[in-house]
Structure 1
Amino acid sequence: MPDRIELRGLTARGRHGWFPHERENGQLFRVDVALSVDTRAAAESDDLTDTVDYGSLAERVVGLVSGEPVRLVETLAQRIADLCLDDPRVEAAEVTVHKPEAPMTVPFDDVTVTIRRART
């Protein structure tokens, strides 16, 4: 069973959304990432190069969120999962994108999309 590295609450302003005002004005997004990784080599060597550098990954995830806009949160989540799986040590990734300022006509706390992707 693989180990798990999690990043929770990565926050950035993005211009993702279906409606023109979302793409023009932007809004807050939060991202949670859970990675399935075998951390035994890193635990034995005590060397960052033997594991996922979560600081660097966090910066790249925030770069995706604040970068080129997409219309659907599902597309953003997939791009983040693809980024995580670029590291060959990552066996699987679970990505949750929070859109707490989604344009809805009823009161709500949050809208999330969660996807799970694994190496094939």
Structure 2
Amino acid sequence: MSDYIRLEGLEFYGYHGALVEEKELGQRFIIDLELEIDLKEAGRTDQLDKTINYAKVYQTVKKVVEGEAYDLIESVAEEIADRLLTDYSMLKGVLIRVKKPEVPIPGVLDWVEVEIERDNKS
């Protein structure tokens, strides 16, 4: 059995994209996270140090999305996964979704999304 903490719909403004205009103007990015962690001890003891402080997780994601500009949202997702797995040793794995609503595609769509799943062994 697995336990999860989910943070969904985190919105940030960043400068990621392959086009010059995307790097200059920036745009919104929406992030969904699924953090796999054993929550049994946290649930039994009601102690924050037995789980992951999701306010700190939010700040980690914010630093990545609002920080260094990447050409690909795949790279944004990978950097988020890497930092979370490095910073929080109790994580078993993460699932990261990066959504880009304002894509430069001549058509109607809600967003383009990349989803990656990583564990603490990779």
> Normalising TM by the smaller chain, what interval?
over 0.9
- Counting only pairs closer than 5 Å after superposition, residues 86-101 of structure 1 correspond to structure 2 as 86=86, 87-101=88-102
Q: Distance in 2 between matches of 1:114 and 1:44?
A: 32
Q: Distance in 1 between matches of 2:91 and 2:34?
A: 10
- Counting only pairs closer than 5 Å after superposition, residues 1-120 of structure 1 correspond to structure 2 as 1-86=1-86, 87-120=88-121
Per-residue Cα deviation, 1:43-97 (whole angstroms, up to 9, x for no partner) = 1221111101001101110121011101000000000111221211110100000
AA aligned opposite 1:100 = P
Per-residue Cα deviation, 1:4-32 (whole angstroms, up to 9, x for no partner) = 10000111000000001100110000000
Q: Distance in 1 between matches of 2:62 and 2:103?
A: 19
Q: Structure 2 regions of 5+ residues with no counterpart? A: none
Matched pairs, number: 120
Q: Distance in 2 between matches of 1:26 and 1:54?
A: 26
Q: Distance in 2 between matches of 1:95 and 1:22?
A: 22
AA aligned opposite 2:109 = F
Q: Distance in 2 between matches of 1:9 and 1:83?
A: 19
> Following TM superposition, by how much is the alpha carbon of 1:102 offset from its aligned partner in structure 2, in angstroms?
1.0
SS at match of 2:13: strand
AA aligned opposite 2:56 = S
AA aligned opposite 2:48 = L
TM-score normalized by the length of structure 2: 0.95
Q: Distance in 1 between matches of 2:63 and 2:9?
A: 14
Report the more deviating stretch, 7-16 or 57-66: 57-66
Q: Distance in 1 between matches of 2:63 and 2:10?
A: 11
Q: Distance in 1 between matches of 2:54 and 2:83?
A: 12
TM-score normalized by the length of structure 1: 0.97
Moved >2 Å (runs of 4+): none
RMSD of the TM alignment (CA)? 0.8
> Following TM superposition, by how much is the alpha carbon of 1:113 offset from its aligned partner in structure 2, in angstroms?
0.3
